[in-house]
Structure formats: structure tokens, C-alpha cells
Chain A
């Protein structure tokens, strides 16, 4: 936290990651955006912002995952690297979103060299699998929740017999258990099952 101007130079350097995110929110997302012939757009700043934001926001999640000891067989250093880059890559959630197409565009100006912080550049087969599972499970989870809410509404409305309510409840309970099992299988957490729809907000 920046407390006073006097402390000046070291304020941001020594501050927490939270402030770096605040810095990012301002430097890259705000300020005068000059347009016109004489202005050069260095890179697509919006995307640099999004990517770095995701990267930094994911640090906490990664630390949590590491704490749970879900990854074994690597030395601490290796584990940090692996874990970090796996988590920073939000892979599949970018597919089908407007950002995904933009992300591909962003990669182009970089002379074919793929920076590691960009999404969809890590072609580790394990990540692809996890990413695909994430997308599929997100959609299933959305449908499951919608249907479950619908079931609750019907139960409340009194349209259903006690027998029907019971059967429906058992079905949804089983569905929830199955989802938990699948999430565990792909090391996905509840918060992973969401899609950032840009200006619209998040899916769930």
C-alpha cells in the first residue's frame, strides 16, 4: 500500500502483489489512450493487461494448489516452475471467447516466438487435456446448476408428488457426486469451472 508520497521510490517495489495488480489495472487499462497516425501501438496493450492480470491473479490459486500437495515427484524448484506455468495458462477458457482470437493475434507480432505468459501457447498434452475437461465440465456444471434450480422451483410450486421430488433429488445428488469425482480427476476446483465472458462478466 502506498502510504505517503515521501516514501516515494520504494513504495511500489516493496508493496504486495495486490498493488501490482492495481498498478496493472491503471497503467495498462487506464490513462490517456492516444489515437492517430503518429501513435504507435506497441503491442496490443489490452491483451498484455489481460494476460498479466490472469497471470498475477493465478498466483494465489497456484499457492493453494501447491499447499495441498497435489503434485508430487518433482523437486521443489521444478514443482514451482511446472505448477506455475500450468496454472497461469488458462488455456481452454479462452477458446470461443473473443479474447481467444485476439490472443492469437497477439502472438503474431512476436516474430513467431511464443512468450510463455500467453495463453494457448503451452502445447503440453496434459494441459490440453485438462483444458478441454475444464471447458466441458464448465458447460455441464452450468446445465446441472440450471436444472437443479429449476427442480427446486418446481418443488416449491408444489407441482410434484413426494415420490417425484424424491426421485429428482436422488438424481441431482448423484449428478453432483459425479461432478465432484470428475473435478478431482482433472484437479479442477470450483472456481476453475467458469468462463470469463469479457464485458458480459462471468458465466456463473
Chain B
């Protein structure tokens, strides 16, 4: 079947890329990296993959692996997964032309930078409430105490997250408080905050040292910090 679509990975500056099975569209000093696909085949495959989380995991991982390899060679502006360009009559080139300034700015901004994700998890303490009060008044008083304790805990967590953010943002050029579909860790801890940081490659080591320091500091308060990276600057393209 005819391969009429470009499955787009990212836009990079002009670069001698020696990678197999890639399709490049160039406009001035910008290159869009993708692979040629048959759109309807691709849609069918994606539809199949969606039925099975394991397959979808593989699909997403392969996509990210490719961008990781690209990232090792040059600065990248990644597309959202699933971006397909209908490359009829050089439309992809027109797209690059139309978005030229935006991509140039982003590539300049992302040069020698990495994105790191940090998540703050808190151990959950609320166990099934099996207490039985001896009277109605005692019940309401107990509920009042629970309410106050919860409020105090929330305030404390907000304060800790603020302190963690402050400690890390000093080493970053930019940061974002991100949203996530994740609610719990694999250990059942509650996700309290998720941050993304754009940092200089040269600061990565220092960043991870600071992270370890903060992780140790807040461990005694029942918090656990996790980090992931280096990512391309997904969270900073807008």
C-alpha cells in the first residue's frame, strides 16, 4: 500500500543524521524527522495496540526511544505522540515554513538543556476507620479532631512541596507544576505534586545531588521523591 503520511517525531536543526529508516523534510535550517507510513494501516495498528496496555507500552516506548537517540545527537522539539502529516504536495515543508520562527526559538531555548520530572509522594495513613464512639457528641468531637488533623497535614504537605520546589528551581532555568493521570505510586502512596524542570545539561549532576539531599530530608516526614529524565523538553514547548 502507498505510504502517504509522515509519522512525525520531532523538529531539529539541520544536522547530519545517520539514522536508519527515517524520513526528513527540510526547510532552510530546520528538519522535521519522521517516518513514512500508510495512514489507514497505522490507524488500524494503533487501534489494535489500544486494546492492550502492554502493546501500547511498547508503542510508546519505541517512540520515546527514537526521540532519546535523536536527543543524544542534537536539540529536539518533540511532537505530541500521534502527529501524522499528510505530505501531499510538500505540505510538510509548508508547515515548517509557517512555523519557522517558533521552531527556531524553541531549538535555541532547548540547546544543551534537559527536562527532568520530579514527583512527590506521601505515604497514606488513613486506614479504615473502625472506631466506634460511645455517644453522638463523642462522634462529632472525634470528627472535628479528624478534620483539624487533616487540615494540618494538608498545610504541611503544601509547605513541604513548596520547599522542595524552591530548592530545585534554583538549579533550573524554568519549571512547571504539571498535572498527571497518576494518583498513586506503585507502593500505594499518594501523588502530592509533580514538577518539570528545564535544566542545563551541565547542571544535571548538581540537580540530582540536590534532589537526593531533599529526598533524604523529607523522608522522615513520610515523603518520597522520584525523578525521571533526561527528557526532551515536552513540558516547555508552549
Contact = CB atoms under 8 A, between A and B. Distances in A.
A149 interface: yes
B51 A11 contact: no
Interface of B is mostly: mixed
Q: Which among A34, A43, A165 has the highest number of chain B CB atoms within 10 Å?
A: A34
Interface in A44-93: 45, 48-57, 59-61, 64
A117 B72 CA distance: 34
A169 B133 contact: yes
Contacts of B68: 5, 8-9, 11-12
Contacts of A42: 42-43, 46, 82-84
A30 B235 contact: yes
B223 to A, nearest CB: 15
Given A43-B43, A117-B51, A166-B137, A23 B60 contact: yes
B63 interface: yes
A19 interface: yes
Interface residues of B, number: 75
Interface in B33-74: 39, 42-43, 46-47, 50-53, 56-57, 60-61, 63-65, 68-69, 71-72
A126 interface: no
B237 interface: yes
Contacts of B230: 2, 5
Contacts of A16: 186
Contacts of A155: 140, 144
Interface string B156-189: 0000000000000000000000111111111010
Contacts of B182: 18, 21-22, 25, 53, 56-57
Interface in A162-194: 162, 165-173, 190-191
A17 interface: yes
Given A30-B234, A37-B91, 7 more contacts: A1-B228, A27-B81, A36-B95, A43-B46, A115-B50, A117-B52, A173-B139
Interface of B: 5, 8, 11, 39, 42-43, 46-47, 50-53, 56-57, 60-61, 63-65, 68-69, 71-72, 77-88, 91-92, 94-95, 98-99, 117, 119, 126, 132-133, 135-140, 143-144, 147, 178-186, 188, 194, 226-231, 234-235, 237
Interface of A: 1-2, 5, 8-9, 11-13, 16-34, 36-43, 45, 48-57, 59-61, 64, 109-111, 113, 115-118, 148-149, 151-152, 155-156, 162, 165-173, 190-191
Which 3 residue pairs of A and B lie closest in terms of their CB atoms, listed nearest first? Answer: A53-B181, A169-B136, A170-B136
